[in-house]
Amino acid sequence: MSLLMGDSKDVSSITPDSPQILKQFIRAPLLQKMSIEAIEYLNTRLKELNQQGILYIEDLKCNFDVEIGRDMLLDYRDNKIENFILWSGDSDFADPVRQLLSDNKKVVLFATARRVSVELNEFW
In this structure, are 110 and 71 located in the same domain? yes
Give the confidence band of 10 by pLDDT, cuts at 50, 70, 90: very low
In this structure, are 9 and 25 located in the same domain? yes
In this structure, are 34 and 73 located in the same domain? no
CA torsion angle 93 82 111 30 (round to 10): -30
User: Is 8 a residue whose pLDDT tops 60?
Assistant: no
Evaluate if pTM is beyond 0.85. no
In this structure, are 41 and 13 located in the same domain? yes
Range(s) of the domain holding residue 10: 4-57
Cα angle 89, 94, 96 (rounded to 5 degrees) comes to 115
In this structure, are 8 and 50 located in the same domain? yes
Q: How many domains does the chain have?
A: 2
Domain closes at, from 33, 57, 81: 57
In angstroms, rounded to a whole number, what is the distance separating the alpha carbons of residues 96 and 21?
37
- pLDDT per residue as tens digits for the range 66-116: 888 888 889 888 887 889 999 998 988 999 999 999 989 999 999 887 888
Cα angle 121, 69, 76 (rounded to 5 degrees) comes to 100
In this structure, are 78 and 32 located in the same domain? no
In this structure, are 30 and 74 located in the same domain? no
Question: What percent of the chain stands above pLDDT 90?
Answer: 23
In this structure, are 29 and 78 located in the same domain? no
In this structure, are 50 and 68 located in the same domain? no
Over the range 60-94, which residues count as b (16 or more CB within 10 Å of their CB) and which as e? Answer: eeeeeeeebbeebeeebeeeeeeebebebbbebbb
